[in-house]
Amino acid sequence: MTPVVRIGNCSGFYGDRLAAMREMLTGGDLDYLTGDYLAELTMLILARDRAKSPDRGYAKTFLTQLEDCLGTALDRKVRIVANAGGLNPAGLAQAVRTLAERLGLSVQVAHVEGDDVLPRAGELGFGAAPAATSSVGTPLAANAYLGAWGIVDCLNSGADVVVTGRVTDASVIVGPAAAHHGWARTDYDQLAGAIAAGHVIECGAQAAGGNYSFFTEIADLTHPGFPLAEIHADGSSVITKHPGTGGAVTVDTVTAQLLYEITGGRYANPDATLRVDSIELSDDGPDRVRIAGVTGEAPPPTLKVSLNSIGGFRNEMTLVLTGLDIEAKAALVRKQLENTLTVKPAEMQWTLARTDHADADTEEAASALLRCVVRDPDPANVGRRFSSAAVELALASYPGFTSTTPPGDGTVYGLFEPAFVSATEVAHVAVRADGVRTKIAPATETQELADVSSPALPEPFPIGSMRRLPLGTIAGARSGDKGGSANVGVWVRTDEQWRWLAHALTVETLRELLPETADLGVTRHLLPNLRALNFVIEGILGQGVAYQARFDPQAKGLGEWLRSRHIDIPEELVS
């Protein structure tokens, strides 16, 4: 085995750049190419797809990519690992074989299954399995997050392509690294190092400058390249990208991605728990960042389960309020609509976005948006009965009444709920290319997940002259969804800035800067090695992404909102 394995990634979500697979295969040397196609919302989409036909339930774009690239991968001896199997990994594996036969290619295709625990949902305490026609509140999908050892078995048996169902995002990278280096299941430091590298590259171009706070510093972000990890036998790695591709890989772009959708100092995976607080980053040359010093611990005894169900039906109307008396106009139309509806929806949520400007030079700049979202188990209560009632007010309400939404029927919305099950209750199975089925035993050594003891705060930065500026003047941020909660990671780039940030950005200060969080549970975690704070905000996304509790349902912009808020910053820290 070579001392370093090069693992590239070509997908961060279902719908990512189709051309990325070809770009990664032809842009430079790789040993493995991986793809992450699954997210909490994706599982609901695939579940509804599978409900229409049992032959569906996987990411069809993966087949589109393979049709163009499978021959190239085989010629270059690049093996492919992807979780595109979704709810039907066996079906996708067979579809890949059918595609290869049509293309005249000889390929060994294996898959990993066992994550689907929906048939045992009632037994495991997750609610009854659905009938042929799904009903509101009934689980459509229940999938345990598996680890990397099924992938390892498939690769060790000679598979060219391995497709999985719901494994953790990092597992598609950990599997190839563990197979290549021959790691044992108790090599926790090495496995944790691969988890860190996997967490960085699994979200595609984000590691190369996509969704990056200081994006104006990147010379060319027109078409950022996708990342790859050079993973060493000791678990250390270098994050980089193919030569000549756009974007940039820097300590800061890697820091941003490490903070994405985590909690505190421990990041649990089924194969090891990564100590995020142990990670050390250093510049290794242009577009090269070294990850070292990573320590790992035994995994927890339970696996996370993603439960997706139909929550009911929703509808919304957005009204435009222009010019003067915005608050009074909003109050009038709200009172009118609520009094008009003879049957009230179970939920009725109003949001006024004050996008208007005084003395504006365009009508659009003079306008605010009033949004009314309704939800109900009965589609009739959020359908035309609601939307037509809003439209009927057009000539009887506030001056300048107009809307951006026509009357229409309600649509289905989903609910996400996390659950946990003992790893011993889940049948993790590797199905090799020759059809041999290998049961992957759960970890024999486990450790209950617990919070890391809070590290000591650094010495406070001496307070002198202060300037009222946006926090983002010196701090970057990355935010995302964690079920119904969200995380916001905030980092700075110098030790002096860290000394200020660690003391200045408290939970209380965050609540002041983000009033939406005032009545929500907020936990702060310190990550001194990354000069970062991570906040977990409970319940801000309601019952998950598909519930659409706020206009940014995945909290992707939450960090940028925080960066835009003004705070007193020492003048010496502002370059």
Asked if residue 110 has pLDDT above 60, the reply is yes
139 — pLDDT class (breaks 50, 70, 90): confident
Q: What are residue 318's DSSP bridge partners? A: 371
Lowest mean pLDDT among 170-179, 459-468, 545-554: 545-554
Say what the pTM is: 0.95
CA distance 154 to 65: 21
Q: What is the pLDDT of residue 135?
A: 59
Q: Which residue has the higher pLDDT, 135 or 387?
A: 387
CA distance 469 to 503: 17
CA distance 275 to 297: 7
DSSP per residue over 244-272, as a string?
T-BS---HHHHHHHHTTT--SSEEE-SS-
DSSP per residue over 318-374, as a string?
EEEEESS-HHHHHHHHHHHHHHH-SS--SEEEEEEE----TT-SSTGGGEEEEEEEE
Asked if residue 130 has pLDDT above 70, the reply is no
For the record, the structure tokens of 396 come out as: 């009887």
CA distance 442 to 130: 28
What residue spans define the domains of the chain?
4-306+418-440, 312-415, 466-573
Q: What is the pLDDT of residue 134?
A: 44
127 — pLDDT class (breaks 50, 70, 90): low
| 5-22 average pLDDT score | 98
Asked if residue 35 has pLDDT above 60, the reply is yes
| 254-265 average pLDDT score | 95
Q: What are phi and psi of 12, to 5 degrees?
A: -110, -10
Q: What is the pLDDT of residue 399?
A: 98
Give the list of residues 6+ apart from residue 52 with CB closer than 8 angstroms, or none. Answer: none
AA letter at 365: A
Asked if residue 562 has pLDDT above 60, the reply is yes
Strand, coil or helix: 375: strand
CA distance 479 to 374: 27
What is the domain class of 312-415 according to CATH?
A: alpha beta
CA distance 71 to 241: 22
CA 328 vs CA 286, 321, 409, 504: distances in Å: 56, 10, 29, 38
Lowest mean pLDDT among 44-48, 96-100, 488-492, 515-519: 44-48
Strand, coil or helix: 104: coil
Q: Residue 378 is inside which H or E element, if any?
A: none
Per-residue pLDDT of 439-497, as tens digits, reads 999 999 999 999 898 899 999 999 899 999 999 999 999 999 988 999 999 999 999 99
128 — pLDDT class (breaks 50, 70, 90): low
Closest alpha carbon to 14 in 53, 47, 49, 43 = 43
Asked if 338 and 348 touch (Cβ cutoff 8 Å), the reply is yes
For the record, the structure tokens of 302 come out as: 């339970």
CA distance 452 to 457: 14
Contacts of residues 212-215 at CB distance under 8 Å and 24 or more positions apart, as own/partner, are 212/252, 212/253, 212/256, 212/476, 213/256, 213/472, 213/475, 213/476, 213/477, 213/478, 213/559, 213/560, 213/563, 214/252, 214/476
The pLDDT > 70 percentage for the chain reads 98
Average pLDDT taken over every residue of the chain: 95
